[in-house]
Structure 1
């Protein structure tokens, strides 16, 4: 790497950092202004206001980087080249016989690495903070009950309902399991005070441990039952790890699928999303299948968006910087218009299959981005 490469790279990274910090600062200021009372109250009992704000807004910074990373890189590319042109450094470098492609090489490599960091953040960091991103500032002191979305386990014939759910604790309040299958003496309804989601272990598969059973009344006298190939309802009569007035309901429908706010499903990792689509107990809509394919092609599509801005950087008309920014905004809007339209058609099952709907933007814009990259390498 030459000195000019380091100079351009540092200028680009500094511009990217300033742009992101500006957007993040605006977000924190506006959001904290409407929630300052809750933050101050929590700060008085939890080590101070700054510590509480860092704990609450830290995950949001990761989410903001995932949302805006590619757009910020595109804008930083325009600002960097615009600055080099304004100071005459770009003209001097071109006069020395160095091509546009060689000048932009460190920026394009850095942009690629930023897209890779976005992918790592999306798959390994954001999924660990999805509960924090779902909570409001008033929930910093105590967890509050959220609305619950009924879900039908199609493999066992059980409809899971409840009065509400505690997302962080993964506990259902006033659960109601409607038994649509043949479960002998259990009747058609299993209710209790709470139901705690429990992962699979050596004693049992994944499911809910229902505590404070109110129906059926004689739950402790009933034997465990299920289908021919597996046990679904475990009782204390023949399962030592189940206590009195308890029943364990085996299911693969976890607590996240029961939340009425399904925005957190976009924050799960790619393997978790694929497992949900392949889960036979859950009905996966076409929109979820579109989301799965969108997550697969997101990195190359983000990089294609950056490459689409290259003609705005290498312009022979010496256009004003703000004119280029306006054109860049139009390019971004066109990019997301194609992506949104294809996703809507695939989610509705109209004209496009879910997989094709996710790949259409890359099939349309990818070749254009590649041609633009090849063009600057010859200038």
Structure 2
């Protein structure tokens, strides 16, 4: 066996050893941080449902299970940070980092297995956040609505209000008093059309329906408002007339859904719908880009924790845990601030969603560069 082959084999063994040092702190952090979040809020909500509202324990347990995926996705980046911080802190305290550098390994090479593992953890976090969390959030909302609050499943959607805008000016307002959730048949439809901000026409219809991929108004009339006298005059009546509406039947159901209950494709579909209606989907764009950005905090925190943990000063697991909480707190403060800027249009949502990641990535790379020079 060649010397290079022996060296490569030893390095692969080293990679497994480093990952082994991080495995226990990672799962400890996952349990600890999740427990803190549960005890800090969710547990009190569940207890309130049982004691104050008399909800059965079975329903509360189901709610608890449905809320867990969101909490786990939230705590995975924290666990990556804690695992790297404690794992590399232990290696540094035992002078193993110094020994590895003396053997000719750079810090970037030492941290490589952590980077690769964190990359795959980020992908897993993204998949959970994209596939599991929307379903669990939807299930939790349904349990709260139909089992806790004891509302009956609605057969109709009532009081639907749709506003179409263009160049910041209202073009059309559509009001649907009631729509059957199964057949999409409508009752009492009113359409107001505007011309340069002035109400120009009103269309009323007793009925409407979704048929062959189009909206139709049944038994209605069209009225015109005089530009000079403001009087309303009947233009004509109709038995059946097409309603130009950039909405599919399922779009109306999605308009009122929460972003947390939708996957990326559904979010993007709703964003396109809002844009067609002339509305500003700033908050939805922000939710879309955050869905992409947040999972990669796992990778960034893993690198940051490795750089911080490799410092010569030894810290206990309690100090490391507290340090992780502080870093996470600063990260989410920056994210909350940039999110607000993205939602109000001060920053492009794509940029605002990644600000916290970019800040901490820059800090991580700087600390890695310093760690490579030390020892």
**TM-score bracket for this pair, using the shorter chain length:** 0.5 to 0.7
User: How far off its partner does 1:74 sit?
Assistant: 0.8
Output the CA distance in 2 between the equivalents of 1:171 and 1:129.
27
In structure 2, the residue matched to 1:124 is: 131
Q: Which runs of 5+ in 1 are unaligned?
A: 44-48, 234-248
Q: Deviations over 1:109-147 (max 9, x none)?
A: 222211110111122232333321324547337555799
In structure 2, the residue matched to 1:46 is: none
Does 2:196 align with 1:180? Answer: no
Q: Is the 8 A contact 1:38 1:137 kept in 2?
A: no
Q: Deviations over 1:173-199 (max 9, x none)?
A: x976432149xxx9655578xx99x8x
Output the CA distance in 2 between the equivalents of 1:124 and 1:108.
24
TM-score by length of 1: 0.65
SS in 2 for 1:349: coil
Could you say if the C-alpha distance between residues 35 and 308 of structure 1 is closer, same or farther in structure 2, counting changes exceeding 3 Å? same
Which of 271, 282, 285 is the equivalent residue of 1:286?
282
In structure 1, the residue matched to 2:174 is: 159
Could you say if the C-alpha distance between residues 347 and 137 of structure 1 is closer, same or farther in structure 2, counting changes exceeding 3 Å? closer
Residues 316-331 of structure 1 aligned to structure 2 (within 5 Å):
316-331=312-327
Q: Is the 8 A contact 2:220 2:239 kept in 1?
A: no
Q: Is the 8 A contact 1:159 1:180 kept in 2?
A: yes
Could you say if the C-alpha distance between residues 287 and 101 of structure 1 is closer, same or farther in structure 2, counting changes exceeding 3 Å? same
User: How far off its partner does 1:64 sit?
Assistant: 1.2
Output the CA distance in 1 between the equivalents of 2:159 and 2:21.
49
In structure 1, the residue matched to 2:291 is: 295
Which of 63, 70, 86 is the equivalent residue of 2:70?
63
In structure 2, the residue matched to 1:240 is: none
Output the CA distance in 2 between the equivalents of 1:333 and 1:109.
25
Output the CA distance in 2 between the equivalents of 1:324 and 1:62.
25
SS in 2 for 1:35: helix
SS in 1 for 2:239: coil
TM-score by length of 2: 0.66
Q: Is the 8 A contact 1:39 1:53 kept in 2?
A: no
Output the CA distance in 2 between the equivalents of 1:105 and 1:73.
14
In structure 2, the residue matched to 1:237 is: none
User: How far off its partner does 1:61 sit?
Assistant: 1.9
User: How far off its partner does 1:20 sit?
Assistant: 2.4
Q: Is the 8 A contact 1:308 1:368 kept in 2?
A: yes
In structure 1, the residue matched to 2:240 is: 224
In structure 2, the residue matched to 1:236 is: none
Q: Is the 8 A contact 2:84 2:303 kept in 1?
A: no
Which one has more relative contact order, counting CA pairs under 8 Å at least 6 apart?
A: 2
Could you say if the C-alpha distance between residues 65 and 139 of structure 1 is closer, same or farther in structure 2, counting changes exceeding 3 Å? same
Which of 311, 320, 336 is the equivalent residue of 1:315?
311
Which of 336, 354, 357 is the equivalent residue of 2:349?
354
Output the CA distance in 2 between the equivalents of 1:320 and 1:170.
60
In structure 2, the residue matched to 1:6 is: 16
User: How far off its partner does 1:75 sit?
Assistant: 1.6
Output the CA distance in 2 between the equivalents of 1:57 and 1:10.
31
Output the CA distance in 2 between the equivalents of 1:326 and 1:14.
17
User: How far off its partner does 1:265 sit?
Assistant: 1.1
> More strand by proportion, 1 or 2?
2
Could you say if the C-alpha distance between residues 353 and 104 of structure 1 is closer, same or farther in structure 2, counting changes exceeding 3 Å? closer
Give the superposed CA RMSD.
Answer: 4.7
Which of 342, 353, 367 is the equivalent residue of 1:372?
367
Deviates more, 1:308-317 or 1:290-299: 290-299
Output the CA distance in 2 between the equivalents of 1:285 and 1:349.
10
Output the CA distance in 2 between the equivalents of 1:206 and 1:303.
47
User: How far off its partner does 1:374 sit?
Assistant: 4.4
Does 2:262 align with 1:268? Answer: yes
Q: Which runs of 5+ in 2 are unaligned?
A: 1-10, 195-200, 222-236
Q: Deviations over 1:286-315 (max 9, x none)?
A: 233333333343344542243333332111
